[in-house]
Structure 1
Amino acid sequence: MADERAVPTGLGAEPDAKPARTLTTVCAAHAAHDGVHDSIYVLLPLWAEAFGLNYAQVGLLKSAFSGALAMFQMPAGILSERLGERFLLVLGTAAAGIGYAMLGLSTSFLMLFAIVALTGLASSVQHPIGSAVISKAFAQGGRRAALGVYNFSGDVGKMAVALLLGSAVTYVGWRTATLGYGLVVVALSLVILVMLREIRGAAPPVLSPMSAAASGGWGFTDRRGYSVLSGIHVVDCACRTGVLTFVPFALAAKGASAATIGLAFALIFAGGAAGKLVCGLLGDRIGLIRTVVLTEFATAGLIIATLLAPLWGAIVLLPLLGIALNGTSSVLYGTVGEFVRADRQARAFGLFYTLGSIAGTLSPIAFGVVGDLAGLRVTLVSLAVVALLAVPLTLMLRSHVSKA
């Protein structure tokens, strides 16, 4: 563990005077942004039908959003140190809402691809900045629990938007539905502007002599531990993104309508929300290692079970699949801060999310090609195998967790 004298003082490490308000506001932003991001899964089958897309093109659309996230999440974390966390969060939220509203203007695959990518670029600021703001707001205690609530809020947004969007497209079509939700997100950016008025971002920290030499760079207190943790995150994101991209097509093949697919994702995200809370608590009780191993084995088994079950059986299994898919993330996110100095957490979270986003970018493309060549069944079985790759990585983390 790093010497306590190496911890910087100054605004970057100060506790928030009103942590509850900060947590509530950032959670609302998280819910809105994750609603933008994950409602795309509901829209993919509709876009495939509207524009005549194959699995590889579907994967490219999902990867356009994830790729934009991967490109800008790390720079966003660094920029927030100079421009302010509040400014970038408000700007990104407003731009994401405008981009989502513009989806309905698409007349071709290329135009849709471009708008999805721009929306992802705008939304990329939320994860690193939101995580860093909360991590600093609860620096004096309750950080892991606060980050668990933060992650839970994202799944609430996913669940609500998936359910509402799936219902709305039945009555007004996907173009009008995306316009409506986009405007809601723009309005939220104004709320964030007001509620986070006391958040100015991290001023240059005042360091003690022992830490002055380490003031640059990433601020790792355990570089190898952070690297292994990031590797688990990469595998977890690759599996989760691939499953969520192609599960709606498996459901459609079983006879599911657009409204049923919206309900299905609401159930997945409801399970995910519960999973993040439950697994966060489970991580405190049985440890990070056992929790991650348990969730990854459960993920692999439930992917296969969902694939083999009839439609009604798959619907019943989806909340459990959601718990397994998302349960890993809370314990991973809550551990990042243990390997990094307080004044470098924005960029460390940015790097962490960027690595996951790169995996989430490549996964739909790769498994889309697998789907076109070998079929949807082989694609989902392959994703179950990928989930199990996280197990040996998790076992490597044991000595580093005991240090943190």
Structure 2
Amino acid sequence: MVDVLAAPQQTRNQGKTDSSLRTLAAISLAHWVSHFHLFVLPMLFPFLKEQLGVGYIELGLAITVLGIVSGLTQAPIGYLADHIGARKVLLMGLTLGGFALILLGLNLSYPWLLVCAGLLGLANSVYHPADYAILSAHMDEARMGRAFSIHTFAGFLGGAVAPAIMATLVATVGGTGALIAAGAVGVLVALVLIVVGIPDASAADRHVDGVRAPKQSIITPAIIVLTIFFMLLGLSNAGISNFGVVALMTGYGESFSSANLALTAFLACSAVGVLAGGYLADRTSRHGRVAAACFAVNAAIMLAIATTTLPSLLLTAMMAIAGFLGGVIAPSRDMLVRSAAPPGAAGRAFGIVSTGFNLSGIFGPLLYGWIMDQSLPHWVFGASVVFMTLTVLLALVTDRRQPARAA
């Protein structure tokens, strides 16, 4: 009798697991597209410079437009995702980003490049609010950290393979063909998500103990602190990612190949650290302490790099460790936001805090560029130490303020 009753329950559990895996795979694929699309225009700069007859300042302006639009629209898109449903918003973002690149390929001109950049920025603002709202609502609570880590890893992977994909496309179908093909990826993935039937998530769907959750203000002290936390995270990594190679070459006497190897180790180990961090995030509720511990070690590593000249092999090893620990905190970072979000407000919460990343993307390159213009390459790492230390302190404050989320 027990076996007869247990069989349907096992079938239901298996069906729920299969559905969760499909949802995670589909949302991770969408996040892959978001990072891939962010690299399409920079990878085509040589082609665009020749075809449009513009300089790198004009091309850089297009990327600035993308960043500003994405930063300004993150929070409003989060509200939209909670209002009309995250699934609709995600599908619109994929389609919009795809058509933006296709239209640029069909109408190659500098004004269209700026329009395309603005549309890509708007499309990019969709992914964090919509993705995290869906994952938060439909992933198994016990595996939420791992779900977040796989989602983040997929984004890293999209950026990592973009240069090779775009180089192959340019070699086979030309620059305009590469733009159209890259845009078609977004549209095709949107169709895949429709076929898979990803679930929705909105404020109207959220209940607590079977009762519709009351409306709560999303602008809470915890969300404000987390927005600053995200900005500090971005600033602490911006110098290493964007100026690490030139800083190591000019200030430390590293060759181009050894400096690139060190940065590659940092970025590659970050991706590996994200996956490891997912398992860690599922085994603790003290996510702020995890972030603080990892960044405290990273601050010590960067301080050593900033103040001493290390052998190339040791430098690469220390950069790899720093990258790994930086990746480990990503799932815990996302769990902090999920815990701070009121019921039915995951889209808004992630939309608002992600603005911190956009702010770091706007101001970080200016700060570190100024540091390099002052011939202070060691301070590329020294400034990172300052931001990492502030991140540690803020992570501890955030961890203390937030109660553990009920399963």
Shorter-normalised TM range: 0.7 to 0.9
Alignment of 1:2-401 (within 5 A): 18-37=19-38, 52-53=55-56, 62-100=63-101, 112-138=113-139, 141-165=142-166, 177-196=178-197, 198-199=199-200, 201-203=202-204, 214-218=214-218, 223-247=220-244, 249=246, 256=256, 268-283=266-281, 284=283, 287-300=286-299, 301-302=301-302, 305=305, 319-374=320-375, 378-401=379-402
Structure 2-normalised TM-score? 0.74
Alpha-carbon offset, residue 168 of structure 1? 6.1
Cα gap change, 1:276 to 1:200, in 2 (>3 Å): closer
> Which structure ranks higher in relative contact order (CA pairs < 8 Å, sequence separation ≥ 6)?
1
How big is the shift at 1:400? Answer: 2.3
Partner of 1:7: none
Deviation for aligned residue 1:169: 6.4
Contact 1:100–1:179 at 8 Å: present in 2 too?
Answer: yes
State the shift of 1:393 in Å: 1.4
Quick one: structure 1 residues 233 and 217, their matched pair in 2 at CA, closer, same or farther if it must change by over 3 Å? same
Opposite residue 384 of structure 2, the aligned amino acid is: L
User: Which residue matches 2:12?
Assistant: none
Mapped to 2, the partners of 1:39 and 1:239 lie a distance apart of 25
TM-score normalised over the length of structure 1: 0.75
1:178, distance to aligned residue in structure 2 (A): 4.6
* Matched-pair contact (CA < 8 Å) for 2:82–2:344: no
CA contact (8 A) 1:85 1:129 kept: yes
Residues 267 and 167 of structure 1: is their aligned pair in 2 closer, same or farther, counting only changes over 3 Å?
A: farther
Per-residue CA deviation, residues 358-403 of structure 1 (Å, 9 max, x unaligned), is 2322222333344344465544542343222212212223422455
Instruction: Kindly indicate whether the alpha-carbon contact (under 8 Å) linking 1:41 and 1:248 is maintained by their aligned counterparts in 2.
Output: no
Task: Note if contact 2:82-2:346 (Cα within 8 Å) is conserved in structure 1.
Answer: no
* Deviating more after overlay: 24-33 vs 339-348: 339-348
Moved more, 165-174 or 190-199: 165-174
Q: Which moves more between the two structures, 173-182 or 74-83?
A: 173-182
RMSD: 4.3
Q: Using the alignment, how far apart are the partners of 2:243 and 2:28 within structure 1?
A: 28
Q: Which runs of 5+ in 1 are unaligned?
A: 1-14
Identity of aligned residues (%): 22
Q: CA deviation at 1:129?
A: 0.4
Query: How many Å apart are 1:69 and its aligned residue?
Result: 1.8
> 1:334 is aligned with what amino acid?
M
Counterpart code for 1:280: G
Label 1:210 to 1:176 Cα distance change in 2 as closer, same or farther (>3 A).
closer
SS at structure 1 position matched to 2:204: coil
In the alignment of these two chains, the number of paired residues is 380
One-letter code aligned to 1:363: G
Q: Separation in 2 of the partners of 1:200 and 1:131?
A: 9
Residue 295 of structure 2 aligns with an amino acid whose one-letter code is E
Q: Work out the CA distance in 2 between the residues paired with 1:209 and 1:285.
A: 27
* CA distance, structure 2, for counterparts of residue 299 and residue 48 of structure 1: 38
Instruction: Return the offset for 1:27.
Output: 0.7
- Please state how far the C-alpha of 1:73 moved relative to its aligned partner: 1.5
Bigger shift: 326-335 or 136-145? Answer: 136-145
* Secondary structure at 1:215 match in 2: coil
1:295-351: per-residue Cα shift (whole Å, max 9, x none)?
A: 324544359749967988877766545324433221110122222232111111111
Counterparts of 1:377 and 1:170, CA distance in 2: 39
Take 2:40 and 2:384, find their aligned partners in 1: how far apart are those partners?
Answer: 21
